[in-house]
Homo-oligomer: A and B are copies of this chain.
Amino acid sequence: MLIVQKFGGSSVADNERIFKVARRITERYKEGNDIIVVLSAQGKTTDELIKKAYSINPKPSKRELDMLLATGEQQSVALMAMAIRSLGFPVISLNAAQVGIRTTSAYGNARIRTINTERIEQELVRKNIVLITGFQGINKYDDITTLGRGGSDTSAVMLAAVTHADSCEIYTDVDGVYTADPRIVPNARKLDEISYDEMLEFAALGAKVLHSRSVEVAKKYNVNLVVRNSLNENPGTVVKEECQVERMLISGVAVDKDISRIAVIGIPDEPGMAFKLFSLMSKAKVSVDIILQSVGRDGTKDISFTVSKGDLVDTLKVLEEHKGMLSAKEITHDDEVAKVSVVGAGMATNSGVASLMFEALYDAGININMISTSEIKISVLVDSARADEAVAAIHDKFKLATMGLKA
């Protein structure tokens, strides 16, 4: 079997953890598997390098920032190689340039275009455990690029795809994907399996187990993805195309607190206003999530939408600048909100999910601000102070702690 394993920064933060991971890697190697390992930078290394960069230049060149940050993963793979060698196993570390991980040119947020598998294959034939720097690539100028947040997950899944690996194991500090965040809902249950689409919704909803881009890639190339705990031997959660288990109504409940609500009030109730508004947002590269448009009254209407907290200031600035063009009476915002969502492929064919979710919130006396639905997801906006309570209430209502309501 060819296995790709990915370990995050906290798994290699110090010598003790490096050796723990090294033993884990070599155990799979001893079973006769070919092993490719993708590593992130140690612990807080990336944050420290970013801090150093900003202390020199408050607006560092993105190209130079990538040149700087890429050293973190290179140190990780070199140190891990030394640890594995000291356990007596053959190993080699490779950076993105050495492998030939080609990306787009967007420094700081590049996407992998192609991966050359030649060097990897050579090293696997030599029976080396192959350690590869995550999070980075090189662009057409041979400059170093980084893939943005969660990029090492994507590196691992892409490598699994191009090498036709039998599985791609993403190691983290939890046992897998849960029906809700166990810190919010103590009786949350670990899922044995989840579909790519459900996982995508979870990832997009801020469940930080896997980065969405990596799930997209896994779905596209049908990579057999497993989320496991680096600290124990539990089987983890398998992410795959179709789940074999009896279909539950919903797979889990997620909460996203990185959200602000903006209301553009009193714009003319005529065609094209929403288009004008959201093309402004698009030009400002602001991602808009839930959108709600009020029914027109007295010739005006209101449009509300949510953006991430980081985009709030920019968004308000753009809106104030174009207040006249939009003929808006007022622009208000609220960042004391959170988005609570239920996800499940099972709900596509069952209209009862929404009403059950609303019932749970009603029982708990939690007011719903906005609602948004998709094929496999229902999201509601609630006061952020009551978000955790909302998650717990919904988790209970769908009996997720036991086996969950059946679809």
Which positions in A face B, CB cutoff 8 Å?
A: 15, 18-19, 49, 52-53, 55-61, 63-65, 67-68, 70-71, 74-75, 77-79, 81-83, 85-86, 92-93, 95, 97-98, 119, 142-144
Contact = CB atoms under 8 A, between A and B. Distances in A.
A236 B228 CA distance: 61
B79 A70 contact: no
A65 B78 contact: yes
A15 B56 contact: yes
A61 B81 contact: yes
Given A82-B53, A142-B98, A143-B98, A68 B74 contact: yes
Nearest to A98: B142
A263 B52 CA distance: 53
A143 B19 CA distance: 24
Q: Work out how many copies of this chain go into the complex.
A: 2
Contacts of A143: 98
11 contacts: A49-B75, A53-B79, A53-B82, A56-B83, A57-B83, A59-B86, A61-B82, A61-B85, A64-B93, A74-B74, A119-B142
A73 B68 CA distance: 10
B68 A78 contact: yes
Contact of A81 (B67, B70, B85): B67
A82 B60 contact: yes
Contacts of A77: 67
A93 to B, nearest CB: 6
Contacts of A82: 53, 56-57, 60-61, 64-65, 68
Given A49-B75, A75-B49, A67 B93 contact: yes
Given A53-B82, A86-B56, A71 B67 contact: no
A267 to B, nearest CB: 42
B93 A78 contact: no
Contacts of A64: 78, 81-82, 85, 93
Given A65-B78, A78-B68, A93-B67, A86 B57 contact: yes
A60 B19 CA distance: 14
A74 B85 CA distance: 25
A49 B64 CA distance: 22
Nearest to A54: B82
A24 to B, nearest CB: 16
Given A74-B70, A77-B67, A78-B68, A55 B86 contact: no
Contacts of A97: 97, 142
A66 to B, nearest CB: 8
B75 A79 contact: no
Contacts of A58: 86
A366 to B, nearest CB: 47
B74 A67 contact: yes
A359 to B, nearest CB: 55
Contact of A75 (B71, B86, B92): B71
Nearest to A122: B141
Contacts of A60: 82, 85
A48 to B, nearest CB: 11
A74 B144 CA distance: 11
A206 B58 CA distance: 42
